[in-house]
Amino acid sequence: MRRVESYWRLKLREIRRLRTDSPVVFNARAIQKIRRSLSSWNRRTLRPWLQKSPESPRSYETSSSIPLKRFYTPVDVAYLDYERDLGYPGAFPFTNGIYPNMYRGKLWTMRMFSGFGMPEDTNRRLKYLLEQGETGLSIAFDMPTLYGYDCDHTKAHGEVGKCGVNVSSLKDMEIIFDGIPLDRVSTSMTINAPAAVLTCMYAAVGEKQNVPKRKLRGTVQTDILKEYIAQKEWAYPPEAHLRIIRDMMVYCTRYMPNWNYISISGYHIREAGANAVQELAFTLADGFAYVDLGIEAGLKIDEFAPRLSFFFNCTMDFFEEIAKFRAARRIWARVMKEKYRAKDPRSLWLRFHTQTSGASLTWQQPMNNIIRTTIGALAAVLGGTQSLHTNSYDEAWALPTEQAVMVALRTQQIIAEETGAADITDPLAGSYLIEWLTDEMEERVYRYFDQIESLGGVLEAIRAGYLQREIVENAYRDQLKLENGEHVMVGVNKHAIHEEPPIDTLKVNPAVQDKQIERLERLRRERDHPKVKTALSALKTAFKDSRANCMYPMLKAVKAYCTLGEIVDVGREVFGEWREPSLL
Partner 1 sequence: MSSVKPEKLERKIRILVAKPGLDGHDRGALILSRAFRDAGMEVIYSGLLPTPDDVAQMAIDEDVDVVAMSLLNGAHMTAFPMVGRILKEKGARDILLVGGGIIPEEDKKLLQKDGITGNFGPGTPLKTIIDHIIERVRKERWKLK
Question: Which CB atom, from 183 or from 499, has the smaller least distance to partner 1?
Answer: 499
Instruction: Please provide residue 193's backbone torsions phi and psi, each rounded to the nearest 5 degrees.
Output: -50, -50
Neighbouring-strand partners of residue 352: 310
According to CB under 8 A, which one of 20, 132, 154, 210 is a site residue for partner 1?
154
Does residue 497 belong to the site contacting partner 1 (CB under 8 A)? Answer: no
Cβ-defined contacts of 370-378 (< 8 Å, 24+): 370/407, 370/411, 372/316, 373/408, 373/411, 374/411, 374/415, 375/316, 375/318, 376/314, 376/315, 376/316, 376/321, 377/314, 377/411, 377/412, 377/415, 378/318, 378/415, 378/419, 378/421
Angle between helices 238-255 and 551-559 (to 10 degrees): 80
Q: Name every residue whose Cβ is closer than 8 Å to that of residue 410 and which is 6 or more positions away in sequence.
A: none
Q: Is 509 in the site for partner 1 (CB under 8 A)?
A: no
Phi, psi torsion values for 381, nearest 5 degrees = -70, -45
Amino acid at residue number 69: K
Indicate the residue among 271 and 453 with the shorter CB distance to partner 1: 271
Indicate whether 233 belongs to the interface with partner 1 (CB under 8 A): yes
Determine the angle formed by the axes of helices 2-18 and 432-454, rounding to 10 degrees: 160
| Residue 121 DSSP one-character state | H
Least distance CB 247 / partner 1 (angstroms):
24
- Residue 165 is a binding residue for partner 1 (CB under 8 A): no
314: β partners: 356
The Cα–Cα gap between 187 and 220 comes to 8
Task: Tell me how far apart the alpha carbons of residues 30 and 538 are, in angstroms, rounded to a whole number.
Answer: 72
Is residue 184 close enough to count as binding partner 1 by CB under 8 A? no
d(CA 391, CA 366): 12
Closest CA to 506 of 403, 415, 576: 403
Q: Number of residues interacting with partner 1: please give it, by CB under 8 A.
A: 43
Smallest distance from partner 1 to CB 20, Å: 39
Complex with partner 1: residue 439 or 470, whichever CB lies closer: 470
Min dist CB 579 to partner 1, Å, is 7
Out of 80, 118, 143, 203, name the contact with partner 1 by CB under 8 A. Answer: 143
The site string for partner 1 over 253-292 (x = CB under 8 A, - otherwise) reads ------------------xxx-------------------
**Position among 41, 60, 128, 476 found at the interface with partner 1 (CB under 8 A):** 476
Question: Does residue 489 interact with partner 1 by CB under 8 A?
Answer: yes
| Binding residues among 336-395 for partner 1 as defined by CB under 8 A | 359, 362-364
Which residue in 102, 258, 83, 93 sits closest to 188, CA to CA?
258
The CB-of-155 to partner 1 minimum distance in angstroms stands at 6
Q: Which is nearer to partner 1, 12 or 471 (CB)?
A: 471
Q: Which of 69, 104, 155, 184 binds partner 1 (CB under 8 A)?
A: 155
Residue among 159 and 439 whose Cβ is closer to partner 1? 159
Residue 501 is a binding residue for partner 1 (CB under 8 A): yes
Task: Name the DSSP class of 546.
Answer: T
Stretch in the footprint of partner 1 (CB under 8 A) among 125-133, 154-162, 400-408, 457-465: 154-162
Please select the residue that binds partner 1; options are 76, 159, 321, 435, rule is CB under 8 A. 159
Q: Using the rule CB under 8 A, is 495 a contact of partner 1?
A: no
Least distance in angstroms from the C-beta of 315 to partner 1: 14
Q: How far apart are CA 388 and CA 376, in angstroms?
A: 10
Determine the Cα–Cα distance for residues 550 and 568; give it in Å rounded to an integer.
12
DSSP reduced 3-state for 444: helix
The contact pattern for partner 1, residues 385-414, with x = CB under 8 A and - = no contact, is -----------xxx----------------
Residue choice 18, 110, 130, 472 for contact with partner 1 (CB under 8 A): 472
Residue among 218 and 571 whose Cβ is closer to partner 1: 571
The dihedral over CA atoms of 213, 214, 216, 219, expressed in degrees to the nearest 10, equals 110
Q: Is 549 in the site for partner 1 (CB under 8 A)?
A: no
For the segment 444-463, give every residue that binds partner 1 (CB under 8 A). none
Q: Which is nearer to partner 1, 289 or 475 (CB)?
A: 475
Phi, then psi, of 559 in degrees rounded to 5: -70, -25
Instruction: Pick the binder of partner 1 from 19, 111, 125, 162 (CB under 8 A).
Output: 162
Residue (46 or 488) nearer to partner 1, CB = 488
String marking each residue 11-50 x if it binds partner 1 according to CB under 8 A: ----------------------------------------
Nearer to partner 1, 102 or 160 (CB): 160
Q: Does 147 interact with partner 1 (rule: CB under 8 A)?
A: yes
Determine how many CB atoms are found less than 10 A away from the CB of residue 405.
21
Question: What region does 299 belong to: left with phi over 0, alpha with psi -120 to 50, or beta?
Answer: beta
Inter-residue contact 154 to 179 (CB < 8 Å): no
Rg over alpha carbons for the chain, rounded to the nearest Å, is: 25
In this complex, which beta carbon is closest to partner 1, that of residue 89 or of residue 161?
161
- Among 305, 309, 310, smallest CA distance to 341 is for 305
> Is 202 in contact with 173 (CB distance < 8 Å)?
yes
Q: Which residues in this chain contact partner 1 in the complex, by CB under 8 A?
A: 143-144, 146-147, 149, 154-159, 162-163, 227, 231-233, 271-273, 359, 362-364, 396-398, 472, 475-476, 479, 483, 489, 492-493, 501, 505, 508, 579-580, 582-584
